[in-house]
Amino acid sequence: MSVLLNEVRKGFYLDSVALMRLSAELSALSGIEEAVLMIGTPSNLQIMRDADILDSAGEEAGPNDLVIAIRADRKASTNRALAHAEKAMKGNSAAGKATEHRARTLRGSHASNPDANLTLISTPGEYAGIEANSALDLGLNVMIFSDNVPLERELELKQRARDLDLLVMGPDCGTAYINGVPLAFANAVNKGSTGVIAASGTGLQEFSVLLHRAGGGIKHGIGVGGRDLSDSIGGISTLSAIDLLANDDEVEQIVLISKPPGEATAKAIFDKLAACGKPVIACVFGLSASQIPDGISCTQTLREAAELTHRQSANAADPTETNTTPDLHNLASELTIPTGAQSLVGLYTGGTLCTEALLILGRAGLSCSSNTSKEGLDSTAQYQLIDLGADEYTVGRPHPMIEPAVRTPLLQQAVNDKNVAVILLDLVLGFGAHEDPAAEVVSALTAAEANKPLVVASVCGTDKDPQDYQRQRAALEAAGVIVCNSNSEAAELCALILEPR
């Protein structure tokens, strides 16, 4: 019978990313069935309650406390995991004391850095709005990494920022580049002359990586959050970002990456882009060129957007990284799938990359089911694409970009399923991501049975990233994975492999 242990650390705070990493470390220990570390906010306590890992001790936690919840095969395993957590947290605290002074409040931090004009907020969603308002009081632009911020609070913050001539990026803004500097989950790319407005973190990452490899670079990458272009928000941050990029003399052209805006918002956004005085490229998933006004170039994939951006740039350099573009038709004709297998399983860590693949496969005539679509995922469908970063897969667990082992059980299941012909994967590198995501994929494939499915993957990263793009790619290829140069290329190859069947 399993043993459940909750420990509460009063007045103890760690960043959510650090907590997710530590949760993953504990979960990997022998005998541990589940381990979660969360700040005791009401929403986090409900998450743990729903996951049945909260006991009476954990129920007593307050919003300033840390809850350590561990379920294991026996008491000795929980004690060992708890000791591991305490040692890690002690090291984290000691590391903090050994470095420069850390302010305890936003105002205190601003007092010691009065020239700063941007703050990044990563707190539980119910408190992010309070901190964002404090930042606006201080005249700071705001990047809200936090999710679960109520829609009405987002609207209030963005309206106030607009009135103050400031910018709110987010909520749920996971990636940004400001003056070439990467923020949060971002890749190491060249600084250049392109300005990007993105409602998607991994979409901005993939575009930036592909532009970098082509020889271009990013001046600004402004993340506006997934709800900004809805009619409920009205594109407030997007409209402000257009003005900022249009008035920046170092920005040569502007790129928009998003899902389709609300009907009223789309008109305001496209009208402003068309009149901004600079070349504009729109990669709006689900919209065709006929739905975008004249004067704005339209692309269907992030790869096409990066290629067009590079071609139009007056300052384009030689390619940073050289990858041979394969003839996908010839490659597909040379590949053999297991006898009798017909299914496709896509296991994604990047939600926008999953959406891009869904659209590409759909245009090729393959009707795919996905949790990124309005219809939701049908687990019995022949072709399935799953965004493992969606809420239903990350409740109480680390995001798969942080801990790729989250994907491993589903990958092992797909590899050993005799009905699966092709498995489609992405790996997202960069700051904040796992230090060796390829290792988990290789481990799962090495343990697989014979006559396994074809595995097709793309790696969103550069040779400047901490994980090293070429090293990750080589590790996958050594394990028999077909690695494509972009997510769209990987999806196109899968369509060609499955098309005749």
Model pLDDT for residues 204-215, shown as the tens digit of each residue: 999 999 999 999
Has residue 188 got a pLDDT over 80?
A: yes
Q: Would you state the pLDDT for residue 492? A: 97
By three-state DSSP, how is residue 84 classified? helix
Residues near 226 by Cβ (< 8 Å), separated by ≥ 6? 172, 199, 200, 259
262 φ, ψ (degrees, to nearest 5)? -60, 155
Has residue 104 got a pLDDT over 80?
A: no
By three-state DSSP, how is residue 470 classified? helix
- Most confidently modeled of 47-56, 123-132, 295-304? 295-304
60 to 10, 63, 86, 396: CA distances (angstroms):
10, 10, 20, 18
Strand partners, 217: none
CA angle, residues 263, 349, 444, in degrees to nearest 5? 155
- 396 — pLDDT class (breaks 50, 70, 90): low
Has residue 130 got a pLDDT over 80?
A: yes
Q: Give mean pLDDT, residues 128-133.
A: 94
Distance (Å, whole) CA 191 – CA 174: 19
- 168 — pLDDT class (breaks 50, 70, 90): very high
Q: Would you state the pLDDT for residue 209? A: 98
Are the CB atoms for 446 and 478 separated by under 8 Å?
no
Model pLDDT for residues 11-66, shown as the tens digit of each residue: 888 877 778 878 888 988 999 998 999 999 888 898 889 889 999 999 999 988 99
Distance (Å, whole) CA 171 – CA 49: 25
Q: Give mean pLDDT, residues 414-435.
A: 95
Are the CB atoms for 356 and 285 separated by under 8 Å?
yes
Q: Give mean pLDDT, residues 432-454.
A: 89
Residue of higher predicted confidence among 275 and 90: 275
Model pLDDT for residues 317-376, shown as the tens digit of each residue: 667 666 667 899 999 999 999 999 999 999 999 999 999 999 999 999 999 999 999 899
Strand partners, 119: 142
Q: Give mean pLDDT, residues 432-444.
A: 93
Nearest to 11 by CA among 94, 104, 88: 104
144 to 12, 165, 428: CA distances (angstroms):
22, 17, 21
Q: Would you state the pLDDT for residue 310? A: 94
Q: Is 271 exposed, middle or buried (0-12, 13-18, 19+ CB in 10 A)?
A: exposed
55 φ, ψ (degrees, to nearest 5)? -110, -170
Q: Which of 141-150, 310-319, 412-421 comes out lowest in average pLDDT?
A: 310-319
- 142 — pLDDT class (breaks 50, 70, 90): very high
Q: In the chain, what percentage of residues exceed pLDDT 90?
A: 73
Model pLDDT for residues 70-98, shown as the tens digit of each residue: 999 999 999 999 999 999 988 655 444 44
Q: Domains in the chain, ordered, with CATH?
A: 3-98 (3.30.1360), 106-312 (3.40.50.261), 328-498 (3.40.50.261)
Query: What tokens were used for 250?
Result: 């170092």
Q: Please give the span between the terminal C-alpha atoms of the chain, in angstroms, as a whole number.
A: 47
Nearest to 237 by CA among 146, 185, 133, 165: 165
Q: Would you state the pLDDT for residue 446? A: 87
Q: Which of 34-48, 245-259, 485-499 comes out lowest in average pLDDT?
A: 34-48
Q: Give mean pLDDT, residues 281-304.
A: 92
